[in-house]
């Protein structure tokens, strides 16, 4: 709409609310010709927007109005753009006048922009008025927008490195761009300005004039302490500054002035130039005060910052000259840091640390190897590892435990490098070698190295479990992960425990048990703080999206995967974003939204070009090769497959999962070129490979592709049970039916399924009925009057051994210890009946009353964890009020159902804490992970027989 405002050469709103921009030469020319350009309105005496300030500076307020007399200075001819700035500070009576003014000129094209927050009175007045909102979280330019701005305001083409550096130091903020851009448009002047150690004076004055008047004290030295902060909240400001009132005022002013951006629980300064201005304004602050501020910030972020603040912790420790702490923190969080910090920056840090810590060259060198590998510099990584091994062989340390710890560190790096290169067997060898060395590295519990040994053991065991999983050894991998979860729970390492349950979910997913996988992923999510560990949360959300995708719930899958992608974009994890995009791509293909899938593929390809994870790069490229081949571009597909072969080597010997995917890509190429027999051969190899890896969904998908290819070959015309179309389609549908899968691409596979069904494939018929929401098999018809619907919930009861396992939170072993005794609760026509088999007694509080209470309390398929239930029971803390309401209703209904057995509930808590209450204790512990399965059954009205 803004593009249609003819008098404006370059004022626009794009990408959901970028700020208005100014093409200064064109704007000046229009002003000189007397043409109306814009009306910028702000309350008298209140800080104006960047656009208003810039226009004032350029044209001395020639046609601008900050009064409430709307349109006083605006010519009545031509079109106009109206920007209402700081509307929340305007007098309420002005709103109706503003909206009346917008209706006064119906023949003119008027575009109204509002900067939030918008007062309620203006919201009411704006009913029926066409307007746009400037999003408060989107003030800065994107890199492409900064490029466009510089190319329009500078003479000649601006080099890319200058554009990137300008965008980095300004954060894309238009106000800072105008200050740093030279009036003569000389690129060399801009280059020299970027090389200056101090920011331009205009930037310092801009920050001082806008911020300092809003502070309760005018001692600008406190801004020097602000210069050390990169990520902060109000508590961190109070920790660093020491004065709560000043810290709160600074935090509010930074947000109100758009100097800072709020993301989740954290606030960040919008641009490094602002931080540099703070440093200049606070230059009288003593160096020791700056060191103390950095130390306090590092300690606070280390305890409260979570994964997103890891780079800031290292930077603060280094600025505080805490070299040993910085190196130790780098050491403990290398894997997370290489996902968030560029390898060049990490290597710069390590070079600086090596210069200050002469007594610990081995640690820095081992980290060098890990970072070199993350950057894809394999030769540099090998050289660094060789120096580490030489250091250990020379016996520079006489402590055997320390030497073994060193060998374990080297083996850990070697294992990660081999895994990144897709060499699973080699990685497993190094992993076992490192674990063996780690067993000999025993330190006293008070020694800080003991905690480092424990962390490394968890990392190595997780990597070993992943390697076993990729090799198809699911049972062994599951045992390793269960041990990790047990030890992590006992030692209070929630992240390690969450990672173990995440990986257990991956095993269940590969084995086709989507329900168990969902439960394990949900438990992992329960252990993770989204704000503190966003990358791990993104991994779990991606896995849950995969579960819903397999079950055919594309809407929920889309919600989950977009949530994960949003988190991972904010964190900046390249490989994490690529993994999530792969799930999103599979969803788009299943939905047959192929254009969207193409776009997501391109984004994933751009990401993996910067990733050293060769296995991930190979997976994305082979999947894309198959995709483009099916869309009629076999030449591009062949090029992609050859590129994968170039950096992975012999795929069949190196990485079996990538080898199987490459066979699918080759089959798609052969099919696109009309070589259908070759396509069949490639697909059979892929299917066998996925079968050996126990990846059932991909095996079923390959079977469907085989059936589709045979149908094209004409094999479907063979009218017997051995027809390949029937054999492969039935195999695919048998897997899908047994696991509850939805193979997706319903339109594409419909002809194949119809052909197989015509040939008598029973599993195919059942799969088609399931997609249509019909029952699997035909059932005898009953008179309509004889049918009623009832909800049946069936429970299995734990043995005493199972209860002990549950108390230790070993949920998976609990499942294997469940007896066949069952409790069945039938709810029909508003009434409940209890049926049981085995040794269950209705008066048994632990076995019957509490499961029945859970039946009434929870919705089918819902999993509630102990702390959330306990919060509702005890009535303390922050809990969901709806949960408490449902609890009260359930207790009331339970009393009605139990009759004389209701005495067990007499002490059930109503309000307030009753810590000794046995019922509440059992509710919040023994039933924390019960899963409710619900089916609908038919009940005959005459004899009330239950047909289960």
Rounded-to-integer distance, Cα 201 and Cα 794, Å: 74
Q: Which two tokens stand for residue 253?
A: 């002013």
At 283-317, the pLDDT tens digits run: 767 778 888 888 888 888 877 776 677 788 888 88
Calculate the CA dihedral of residues 98, 100, 101, 103 and round it to 10 degrees: 130
Q: Which two tokens stand for residue 562?
A: 């977009």
| Omega before 78 within 30 of 0, i.e. cis | no
Residue 394 belongs to some domain of the structure: no
86 and 29 in a single domain? The answer is yes
795 and 814 in a single domain? The answer is yes
Residue 580 belongs to some domain of the structure: yes
Q: Are 561 and 580 in contact (CB under 8 A)?
A: yes
Beta strands 933-939 and 946-947, pairing class? antiparallel
- Judging by beta carbons within 10 Å of its beta carbon (0-12, 13-18, 19+), is residue 832 exposed, middle or buried? middle
Task: Give the list of residues 6+ apart from residue 426 with CB closer than 8 angstroms, or none.
Answer: 418
pLDDT for the residue numbered 375: 66
14 and 103 in a single domain? The answer is yes
126 and 176 in a single domain? The answer is no
Q: Which two tokens stand for residue 170?
A: 């300004």
Helix, strand, coil percent content, the chain, rounded in steps of 5: 65, 5, 30
Question: What pTM did the predictor assign?
Answer: 0.54
pLDDT for the residue numbered 426: 81
Residue 387 belongs to some domain of the structure: no
Which of 582, 612, 642 terminates a domain? The answer is 612
pLDDT for the residue numbered 720: 46
Which of 196, 219, 234 terminates a domain? The answer is 196
Write out the residue range of the structural domain in which residue 147 sits. 143-196
Q: How many domains does the chain have?
A: 5
799 and 840 in a single domain? The answer is yes
Beta strands 266-269 and 789-798, pairing class? unpaired
115 and 23 in a single domain? The answer is yes
What is the number of alpha carbons within 13 Å of residue 425 lying toward its C-beta? 6
Residue 226 belongs to some domain of the structure: yes
Edge-to-edge strands, sheet with 946-947: 831-836, 818-828, 789-798, 933-939, 946-947
What is the number of alpha carbons within 13 Å of residue 499 lying toward its C-beta? 22
Which of 612, 637, 655 terminates a domain? The answer is 612
Plot region of 632 (φ>0 → left; ψ -120 to 50 → alpha; else → beta): left
Regions of the chain with pLDDT less than 70: 1-142, 217-219, 263-265, 284, 306-307, 335-336, 338-339, 358-361, 363, 374-376, 395-398, 422, 444-449, 529-532, 570-573, 610-612, 649-655, 715-722, 773-948
Q: Which two tokens stand for residue 828?
A: 């029909």
CA-based nearest residue to 208, from 191, 195, 221: 221
150 and 115 in a single domain? The answer is no
Residue 694 belongs to some domain of the structure: no
Residue 383 belongs to some domain of the structure: no
**Can you list the positions of beta strands (E) in 838-929?**
none
Helix (H/G/I), strand (E/B), else coil: 269: strand
- Look at the alpha carbons of 257, 260, 262, 267 in this order and tell me if their dihedral is positive or negative: negative
Rounded-to-integer distance, Cα 2 and Cα 131, Å: 10
151 and 184 in a single domain? The answer is yes
Rounded to 5 degrees, φ, ψ at 40 are -110, 120
108 and 236 in a single domain? The answer is no
Residue 640 belongs to some domain of the structure: no
CA-based nearest residue to 849, from 869, 861, 832: 832
Task: Give the list of residues 6+ apart from residue 673 with CB closer than 8 angstroms, or none.
Answer: 634
802 and 814 in a single domain? The answer is yes
Residue 747 belongs to some domain of the structure: no
Q: Are 305 and 312 in contact (CB under 8 A)?
A: yes
930 and 824 in a single domain? The answer is yes
C-alpha dist (Å) from residue 764 to 251, 680, 727, 767: 62, 21, 10, 5
Rounded-to-integer distance, Cα 113 and Cα 317, Å: 44
- Residue 46 sits in a domain of what CATH number? 3.40.50
Helix (H/G/I), strand (E/B), else coil: 873: helix
842 and 912 in a single domain? The answer is yes
């Amino acid at each position: 709409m803004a593009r249609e405002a003819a008098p404006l050469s370059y004022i626009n709103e794009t990408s959901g609310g970028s700020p208005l921009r100014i093409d200064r030469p064109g704007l000046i020319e229009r002003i000189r010709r007397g043409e109306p350009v814009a009306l910028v309105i702000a309350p008298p005496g209140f800080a104006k927007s960047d656009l208003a300030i810039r226009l004032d500076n350029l044209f001395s307020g020639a046609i601008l109005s900050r009064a409430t007399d709307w349109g006083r200075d605006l010519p009545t001819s031509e079109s106009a753009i109206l920007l209402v700035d700081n509307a929340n500070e305007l007098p309420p009576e002005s709103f109706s006048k503003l909206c009346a003014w917008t209706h006064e000129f119906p023949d003119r094209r008027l575009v109204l922009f509002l900067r939030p927050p918008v007062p309620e009175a203006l919201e009411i007045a704006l009913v029926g008025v066409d307007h746009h909102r400037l999003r408060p979280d989107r003030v800065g330019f994107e890199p492409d927008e900064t490029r466009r701005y510089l190319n329009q305001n500078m003479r000649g083409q601006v080099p890319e490195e200058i554009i990137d550096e300008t965008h980095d130091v300004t954060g894309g903020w238009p106000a800072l761009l105008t200050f740093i851009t030279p009036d003569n448009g000389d690129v060399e002047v801009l280059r020299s300005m970027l090389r200056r150690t101090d920011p331009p004076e205009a930037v310092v004055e801009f920050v001082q004039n806008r911020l300092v008047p809003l502070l309760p004290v005018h001692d600008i030295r406190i801004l020097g302490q602000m210069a050390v902060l990169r990520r902060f909240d109000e508590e961190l400001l109070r920790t660093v500054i020491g004065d709560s009132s000043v810290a709160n005022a600074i935090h509010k002013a930074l947000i109100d002035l758009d100097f800072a951006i709020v993301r989740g629980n954290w606030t960040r300064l919008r641009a490094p130039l602002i931080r540099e201005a703070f440093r200049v304004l606070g230059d009288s602050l003593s160096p020791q005060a700056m060191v103390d501020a950095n130390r306090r910030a590092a300690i606070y972020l280390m305890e409260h910052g979570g994964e997103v603040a890891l780079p800031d912790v290292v930077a603060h420790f280094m600025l505080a000259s805490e070299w040993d702490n910085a190196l130790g923190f780098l050491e403990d969080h290398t894997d997370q840091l290489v996902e968030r910090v560029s390898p060049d920056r990490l290597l710069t840090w390590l070079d600086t640390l090596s210069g200050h810590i002469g007594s610990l060259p081995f640690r820095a060198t081992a980290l060098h190897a890990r970072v070199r590998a993350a950057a894809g510099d394999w030769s540099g990584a090998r050289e660094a590892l060789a120096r580490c091994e030489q250091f250990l062989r020379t016996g520079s340390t006489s402590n055997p435990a320390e030497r073994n710890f060193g060998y374990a560190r080297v083996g850990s790096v070697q294992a990660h490098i081999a895994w990144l290169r897709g060499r699973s067997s080699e990685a497993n060898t190094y992993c076992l070698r490192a674990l063996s060395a780690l067993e000999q590295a025993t330190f006293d519990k008070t020694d800080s190295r003991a905690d480092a040994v424990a962390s490394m053991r968890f990392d190595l065991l997780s990597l070993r479990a992943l390697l076993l999983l990729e090799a198809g050894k699911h049972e062994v991998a599951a045992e390793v992960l269960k041990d990790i979860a047990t030890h992590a729970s006992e030692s209070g390492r929630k992240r390690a425990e969450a990672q173990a349950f995440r990986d257990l979910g991956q095993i269940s997913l590969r084995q086709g048990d989507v329900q168990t996988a969902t439960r394990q992923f949900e438990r992992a999510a329960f252990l993770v703080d989204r704000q503190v560990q966003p990358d791990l949360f993104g991994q779990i959300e991606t896995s849950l999206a995969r579960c819903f995708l397999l079950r055919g719930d594309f809407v929920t899958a889309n919600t989950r995967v977009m949530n994960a992608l949003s988190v991972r974009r904010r964190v900046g994890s390249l490989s994490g974003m690529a993994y999530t995009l792969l799930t999103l791509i599979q969803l788009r293909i299943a939905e047959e939204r192929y254009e969207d899938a193409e776009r997501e593929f391109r984004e994933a390809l751009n990401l993996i070009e910067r990733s050293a994870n060769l296995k991930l790069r190979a997976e994305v490229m082979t999947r894309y090769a198959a995709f483009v081949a099916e869309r009629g571009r076999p030449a591009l597909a062949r090029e992609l497959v050859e590129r994968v072969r170039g950096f992975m080597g012999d795929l069949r010997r190196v990485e079996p999962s990538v080898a199987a995917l490459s066979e699918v890509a080759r089959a798609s190429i052969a099919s696109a070129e009309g070589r259908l027999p070759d396509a069949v051969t490639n697909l059979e190899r892929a299917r066998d490979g996925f079968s050996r890896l126990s990846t059932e969904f991909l095996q079923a998908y390959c079977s469907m592709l085989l059936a589709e290819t045979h149908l094209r070959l004409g094999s479907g015309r063979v009218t017997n049970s051995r027809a390949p179309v029937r054999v492969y389609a039935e195999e695919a549908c048998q897997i899908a039916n047994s696991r509850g899968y939805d193979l997706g691409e319903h339109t594409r596979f419909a002809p194949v399924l119809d052909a197989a069904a015509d040939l008598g494939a029973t599993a195919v018929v059942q799969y088609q009925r399931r997609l249509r929401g019909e029952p699997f098999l035909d059932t005898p018809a009953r008179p309509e009057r004889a049918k009623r619907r009832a909800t049946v919930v069936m429970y299995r009861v734990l043995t005493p051994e199972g209860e002990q396992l549950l108390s230790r939170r070993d949920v998976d072993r609990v499942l294997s210890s469940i007896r066949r005794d069952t409790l069945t609760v039938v709810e029909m026509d508003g009434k409940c009946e209890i049926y049981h088999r085995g040794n269950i007694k209705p008066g048994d509080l632990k076995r019957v009353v509490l499961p029945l209470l859970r039946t009434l309390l929870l919705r089918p398929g819902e999993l509630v964890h102990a702390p959330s239930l306990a919060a509702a029971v005890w009535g303390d803390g922050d809990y969901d009020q709806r949960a408490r309401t449902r609890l009260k209703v359930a207790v009331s209904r339970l009393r009605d159902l139990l009759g004389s057995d209701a005495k067990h509930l007499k002490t059930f808590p109503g309000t307030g804490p009753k810590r000794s209450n046995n019922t509440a204790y059992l509710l919040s512990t023994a039933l924390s992970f019960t899963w409710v399965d619900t089916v609908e059954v038919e009940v005959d009205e005459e004899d009330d027989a239950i047909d289960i």
